[in-house]
Structure 1
């Protein structure tokens, strides 16, 4: 393949910049690779948080939904009418944005799932418009190492199925996701299984020896799309168990550091801290909770903990990338899959109505085997990182052609 004579225009698409640090970490991994291998590429985003993406990553960005520009109350007949109009306008906006690019990359994340509550006319519709626009304009759309899950809603499932069929390139972060998409009726023969893209990010420097700190990742967990009627019950059970677990650590004299993975999780951290203080009046609690607004923040705060207990998927992945023995409160097969790949299948615990005593027993076993498990996790995480770098290099060549011998660096769209 001969080098291009003009700089390629590459778009990134997804729920990026909206407060979920795992989503942003996946984008960051792709941005870093593009900037290293194709510094001539002109980059921009079509996403849910354009202001954040531009401010923090230096990439021009366009809001994914026309509705976001109306800035009106979201209830009542007028709001409903404007929202419906916005969906029509979004079709034209998406087509116009896609046609300006040589390739569009959807960088990882669970774009083919509905594990957490999602409406079909939200992101699934936006993803369908993207892939359809790619076919209509000839722009190559790549779903890169994405996650998928069985979807109960027929409308959402249809949107996701057609998006997957229309994409020019598909790869999956685990074999489970590939199998789910195959069972939806999509031909996945030849589609590659990679890993979660955040495994491609550089490692933080960890301390030489144990520190005694336990990391606990909390989540605003209240079930998935099929659990709306029991959402409060699920949330209360999860909150009670995690408060009990952290309380046991504190009572045993352990230092605890609390993590989040989304801005929504801050309220859960505040509630756990408040309940711990109420149950232990006058005591100085050995619990800390620093501000986390990016994957870099999370990795820095995780770097010196000995073990991690986490719920949100990208808290789990970040811990594994750092080689930390990890116990996952799993709310989805994606958590089970990555834990099994890293040699920790026995250290999964259900996030639905978790059992405090069993959770404590699993944690005790994790700590007893900490050194041996840490070596296994570190080796497997390094292998996943190597696999991703090879995959990303191949995708760059396939989508954009060979890199010119010498090009000026251009980081953003004109």
Structure 2
């Protein structure tokens, strides 16, 4: 039999550890349940994807300057031409595959600054090409949120409608798509794909209070906050810095975490403001690295969504600096819904109070997280079984995908 050709699509290999973690989870599923599949990618960082995952990859955009601001006539013309060329490049790539999977990520949301002619346009081209050539496109465990910008909302809505399969990483995502006019009657909700990744060994802390991991983010608000983006960033940075300073004053070692290459300036600003040997920076290249860091900590306070997932999956009591409904939904799913703090209005004093309350209930929360993580693994087994049934109908469904040891 001819091996099934599977394409994976998204902003993969572009420096965002969460996106690459979702890809890693789907590749684990494919290698376990469909080892005969030939996998290729259409993505943001093809060289990085090929080097790390060993699969052939094609650049998402013809125009290499797609994500640089275009002010000169030549750059603007190149962007416009690129949009036209990408129609044919995307269609040709989709046609070479039997199935296309979009692995997780917030592909149906605009909770961070986003232009309609950027990724939403690329996703629409993918889903439209899939429908045109009869190649099923599966949006697997994706995130969605209400979108105010009308062109972006239209592209996202049509992308979802044209997809052959949809599942979401939380109930608010499915609700958002229903509110945008997508029929979600057959769509399912499962935990984020990252919960299918291996969990590092953990042990409850003993002795005096230990390390606190603080996950930071280059946060300027969402797509509707552009007018006050600088104000939001200053407030976030000031509040987070004051919180780190308070931890250091209590003698607590602080380990700074990031989740994207763009977070480096935030780390540098905190290090400059809090000049102490107690503050160190974790060097992380994957979600596995992040999980190891959070597993070794007593407590985690983090902003980025996948920093939260890594901490929760590691079973470490976690406080979320929440910037979107997805963070609140995740914390609630894992039994820590009371430990959220708004990232747009970080109040260092209030954050410190919540942190101390979190640590007071640390043992109880660790037990809760252990139970919720076990349930998440089973729910993702169900997700992968459903995906096999939908995309590989001739496959023997007797296998069960399980979290790697």
* TM-score scaled by length of structure 2: 0.95
Aligned to 2:268: 270
1:245–1:360 CA contact under 8 A, matched in 2? yes
Deviations 1:58-99 (CA, angstroms, capped at 9, x unpaired): 111001111127999943111111110110110111111001
Whole-Å separation in 1 of the counterparts to 2:118 and 2:255: 35
1:199 deviation in Å? 0.6
Deviations 1:28-59 (CA, angstroms, capped at 9, x unpaired): 00001101111100000001111110011111
From 145, 148, 169, the counterpart of 1:149: 145
Whole-Å separation in 2 of the counterparts to 1:7 and 1:403: 12
Whole-Å separation in 1 of the counterparts to 2:171 and 2:364: 26
Superposed CA RMSD in Å reads 1.6
Task: Check 1:391–1:305 CA distance in 2 against 1; reply closer, same or farther (3 A cut).
Answer: same
1:37–1:393 CA contact under 8 A, matched in 2? no
From 248, 269, 286, the counterpart of 2:246: 248
Whole-Å separation in 2 of the counterparts to 1:73 and 1:212: 44
Whole-Å separation in 2 of the counterparts to 1:69 and 1:305: 40
1:263–1:293 CA contact under 8 A, matched in 2? no
Deviations 1:96-118 (CA, angstroms, capped at 9, x unpaired): 10011110000011000000000
Matched, 1:138 2:134: yes
Matched, 1:89 2:81: no
Aligned to 2:382: 390
Aligned to 2:400: none
Whole-Å separation in 2 of the counterparts to 1:152 and 1:263: 27
Aligned to 1:221: 219
Aligned to 1:412: none
The unaligned stretches of length 5 or more in structure 2 are 398-405
Aligned to 2:351: 359
Matched, 1:103 2:99: yes
Whole-Å separation in 2 of the counterparts to 1:263 and 1:382: 31
Whole-Å separation in 1 of the counterparts to 2:66 and 2:214: 39
2:145–2:173 CA contact under 8 A, matched in 1? yes
SS of the counterpart of 1:324?
A: coil
Matched, 1:159 2:122: no
Whole-Å separation in 1 of the counterparts to 2:385 and 2:315: 25
Matched, 1:114 2:141: no
1:354 deviation in Å? 1.2
SS of the counterpart of 2:2?
A: coil
Matched, 1:334 2:326: yes
> Which residues of 2 match residues 284-323 of structure 1 at below 5 A?
284-323=276-315
1:320–1:378 CA contact under 8 A, matched in 2? no
1:374 deviation in Å? 1.1
SS of the counterpart of 2:41?
A: strand
Task: Check 1:404–1:374 CA distance in 2 against 1; reply closer, same or farther (3 A cut).
Answer: closer
Task: Check 1:73–1:363 CA distance in 2 against 1; reply closer, same or farther (3 A cut).
Answer: closer
1:72–1:79 CA contact under 8 A, matched in 2? no
2:5–2:98 CA contact under 8 A, matched in 1? yes
1:328–1:349 CA contact under 8 A, matched in 2? yes
From 12, 29, 33, the counterpart of 1:37: 33
Task: Check 1:352–1:249 CA distance in 2 against 1; reply closer, same or farther (3 A cut).
Answer: same
SS of the counterpart of 1:346?
A: coil
SS of the counterpart of 2:320?
A: strand
Whole-Å separation in 2 of the counterparts to 1:199 and 1:117: 26
Whole-Å separation in 2 of the counterparts to 1:250 and 1:293: 26
Aligned to 1:230: 228
Matched residue pairs, number? 395
Task: Check 1:288–1:70 CA distance in 2 against 1; reply closer, same or farther (3 A cut).
Answer: closer
Aligned to 2:237: 239
SS of the counterpart of 2:127?
A: helix
Whole-Å separation in 2 of the counterparts to 1:394 and 1:85: 40
Whole-Å separation in 1 of the counterparts to 2:252 and 2:68: 48
* TM-score scaled by length of structure 1: 0.93
Aligned to 2:402: none
> Which residues of 2 match residues 15-94 of structure 1 at below 5 A?
15-68=11-64, 74-94=70-90
Whole-Å separation in 2 of the counterparts to 1:162 and 1:131: 8
Deviations 1:382-414 (CA, angstroms, capped at 9, x unpaired): 211221122113312321234479xxxxxxxxx
